[in-house]
Amino acid sequence: MARNPEINSLLSLLDDEDESIAVNAMAELLNREAELGEALAELQESSHPLLRRRSHQLQAAITLRRRRREFIRKLQAPRVDLIDGLIDVHLQWYDNDSRPELESLWSDFRQEAARCPLHTLEELAYFMRKSGFTAQPETTLRPENYCIGPILENHTGSAALLAAIAGAITPAPFRMVRVMGDFALYDGEGRLLVPAHDWQLCPAPGIGLCEFWDPRMLLRYASLTLFSCAVNSDSFRYVLTIAQALSGTTGDETLDYLPYPYCPADEEPESDGTEESGKNPGR
């Protein structure tokens, strides 16, 4: 199928020596992603290094956009696969990582867990302790604590994610809860397994004090925490991309509802000369 002549013209600009011309062409091509077809795959085989590099950059940007759109669709779906969603959350922060590698990491861990009996809270607590999983305080300063890759590799992470991961490896219908600030697994018979207290088992308080969490709530919590991590570290790029992942938008308008400096400040109205000297007019 023949491509739109305008698309061909824009693609030809990817090889321009003027960086600003190429960047503007890439921005326009991003807005017309659906019209590109196999063009970028073809250009990535070009003998021109500059053209190859920019086509790879454009493909990477498109892949990230698609990943963000897919994530918001999953959050809006009637059912959410927890581990698939946690991999999506990881890729919002470590965006150069590979999904197949993360899936393989989870598969290896799942196989290891399958060799142990995990039908009761006691068995689950024993396995997680023996495996060396240690909960860290909830914080917006350690993004790795909310990404499944580092958690599985280092055996340390947010108590919320450790509770979710533990719940995902047991066949028992334990439910994730938050009780008085602590995340835990609830067995439905009045007992809790609390990762933050070295996987301690304890009696659950009244059911009215238990806030039950589903996978969608956990994924939003992890993503919003990563968003706060980005703000704390002044990582403008991740503020933008995670906001897009959570809102489902792709353009700069995503930032319209954020405060300065992530959204441009309103311009001061021009003075008509009536204000008193030395005083600033109200905004």
* pLDDT tens by residue, 107-155: 999 999 999 999 999 999 999 999 999 999 999 999 999 999 999 999 9
pLDDT at 199 > cutoff 60: yes
| Distance separating alpha carbons of residues 131 and 125, to the nearest angstrom | 10
Q: Say what percent of the chain tops pLDDT 90.
A: 49
- Rounded to an integer, the average pLDDT of 10-38 is 84
- Tens digits of residue pLDDT in 18-30: 888 888 888 888 8
pLDDT at 191 > cutoff 90: yes
**b/e code 100-135 from CB counts within 10 Å (16+ = b):** eebeebbeebeeebeeeebebbeebbebbeeeebbb
Supply the pLDDT for residue 166. 98
pLDDT at 266 > cutoff 80: no
- Rounded to an integer, the average pLDDT of 34-47 is 82
What are all long-range contacts of 273-281, with beta carbons under 8 Å and residues at least 24 apart? none
| Distance separating alpha carbons of residues 158 and 135, to the nearest angstrom | 6
Contacts of 4 (CB under 8 A, 6+ apart): 35
- Tens digits of residue pLDDT in 168-182: 999 999 999 999 999
Q: Which of 1-15, 43-57, 200-214, 242-256 has the lowest mean pLDDT?
A: 242-256
H helix or E strand, kind and range, residue 169: helix 159-169
Q: Which of 141, 180, 173 is nearest to 158 (CA)?
A: 141
pLDDT at 217 > cutoff 90: yes
Which band of pLDDT confidence, cut at 50, 70 and 90, is reported for residue 2? Answer: low
Q: Are 151 and 161 in contact (CB under 8 A)?
A: yes
* Alpha-carbon distances of 117 from 163, 194, 239, rounded to whole Å: 17, 19, 42
